[in-house]
Amino acid sequence: MTRVTMPSIAYVATQVRFALSSSSVFSRTDTVTDSERFYNSVVDLFEDVEEQEEVNELQTWWNRQVFPNYSSARRPVCKNSAIARIKEKRSETRRLAMNNLNA
């Protein structure tokens, strides 16, 4: 893991909410804390287009707290790396598939 995702933040919020509750067992079907509904509500809020500026700021803050060396800049892929070869192969496969569709 190199960065915090919004679902991971929602899960942390769900765990904190449970820890602060009087429930003794964590369960997604718990009717007291209704953790599944709470988690889904937080994820829905994070996905709301009108909230994107604040959500992006929140994600950047979390990333800086959890990953002190976090940078939002993407690192270039090294030409000889495994990921570069995978991407090259994927691109070649797509190109061949497109050529077959057009033939």
Q: Encode pLDDT of 15-45 as tens digits.
A: 998 889 888 887 777 777 788 889 999 999 9
Torsion angle in degrees (nearest 10) through CA of 6, 11, 14, 19: -130
Average pLDDT over residues 83-94: 85
Question: Which whole number is the average pLDDT over 79-95?
Answer: 84
Average pLDDT, the chain: 86
pLDDT confidence of residue 78:
75
Q: Can you give the pLDDT at residue 76?
A: 67
Contact indicator for 52, 45 with CB cutoff of 8 Å: no
Rg of the chain on CA atoms, in Å: 20
The mean pLDDT value for 1-27 works out to 88
CA 29 to CA 2: how far, in whole Å?
A: 31
CA–CA separation, 59 vs 57, rounded Å? 5
CB atoms within 10 A of CB 33: 19
The pLDDT of residue 71 is 67
Tokens of 37: 């509904």
